[in-house]
Amino acid sequence: MDQLRAMEIFVEVARQRSFSEAGRRLGLTRAMVSKHILQLEEKLGARLLHRSTREVSLTDVGQAYLAPCMATVAQAQEAARVVAQTGADLAGPLRIQAPSSFGSEWLAGALARFALLHPALEPMLYVDDALLDPIEHGFDLTIRVGGIPDVHALAMRPLAPCRGVLCASPAYLARHGMPVTPQDLQQHRCLHFSHLTDGTQWHFKRGNEAVSVRVPAAFTANNGLVLQQAAQRGLGIVYNTTFLAWRSLMEGTLVPVLTDWELPLNHLSALYPASRQPSPKVRALIDFLVAEYHPVPPWDRELQTSGLL
């Protein structure tokens, strides 16, 4: 039995919760997947998976075995990649996940420019605003706004500052007035991004003064572009990011609100498994993105040139 191959198959079955889907992704029949899992269980002397007609789930032993198994498989794959890529151009699949708004507005263009420099590379961009675990879902690199959810499993490299901005349409402000203080937001319609870790608690700072306000959520969505479009149509005040709002602010379809107060500064970060060194293609992409976005990202440069930041 090729134990490393069996471990790789077990990891994929655990990810997909399906023998058939794991086989499809690995280019194996369901029967071959089942055979490898049975051989691995016999080798270990323990049952790793519960089988049913509907789904596959991990036993307690399988759950405990999964993390070290994933680390072993990842290290073996990394070793193979290093050997294959030594002295060669960057090549092969590169799986990237990013928030949908940033992925479509900025990362897609940067990734296209990077791919043109490395024609043998096969980038795969998955955009989703859910906070997906890059290890569990098999991403080589995840772009995220904010920090690391698990400092032991993931390593991080900051790519660019991510500035927040409150804004609303001229039509909304004509109807409801311009808020003067953060507390005034409690009398306004506020548009809420459901993935904000503090929920509807918005934080402000001015000099040594700090204020937190619980705002009413007149409309909630899990996508920044949806909220921006709602704000442009006059629905309310949106807590936006400058990488998404910059064009609307420059065109005047959105107007900044409470500009004398600072919102918390966040960062766009690149996350990758901490259990191994990033592969040459992952490291090259991170370096490329840092060069694209530092020290001032292009969206903030546009706003600075226009006097809006």
Q: How far apart are CA 300 and CA 282, in angstroms?
A: 26
Q: How far apart are CA 217 and CA 202, in angstroms?
A: 11
User: 48-55 — which CB contacts under 8 Å span 24+ positions?
Assistant: 48/10, 49/10, 49/13, 49/14, 55/17, 55/18
pLDDT digits over 232-267, tens only?
999 999 999 999 999 999 999 999 999 999 998 888
Range with the poorest average pLDDT among 15-24, 120-129, 176-185, 195-204: 195-204
Q: Two tokens at 2?
A: 């090729």
One-letter amino acid identity for 206? R
pLDDT digits over 277-304, tens only?
778 899 899 999 998 887 789 999 889 8
Q: Could you tell me which CATH number the domain at 3-85 has?
A: 1.10.10.10
Domain segments of the chain: what residues? 3-85, 92-162+267-305, 164-264
- For the chain, report the end-to-end CA distance as a whole number of angstroms: 62
pLDDT in the model for residue 1:
64
How many percent of the chain have pLDDT more than 90? 40
One-letter amino acid identity for 47? R
Q: Two tokens at 223?
A: 């996508």
pLDDT in the model for residue 306:
86
3-85 and 164-264 share one fold: no
Q: How far apart are CA 292 and CA 296, in angstroms?
A: 9
Range with the poorest average pLDDT among 25-29, 77-81, 98-102, 173-177: 77-81
pLDDT digits over 74-122, tens only?
877 766 665 555 445 688 899 999 988 899 889 999 999 999 999 999 9
92-162+267-305 belongs to CATH 3.40.190.10: yes
Q: Two tokens at 259?
A: 């500009």
Q: Is the pLDDT of residue 10 over 80?
A: yes
Q: Using an 8 Å Cβ cutoff, are 246 and 303 in contact? A: yes
Topology (CATH) of 164-264: D-Maltodextrin-Binding Protein; domain 2 (3.40.190)
Q: Using an 8 Å Cβ cutoff, are 137 and 96 in contact? A: no
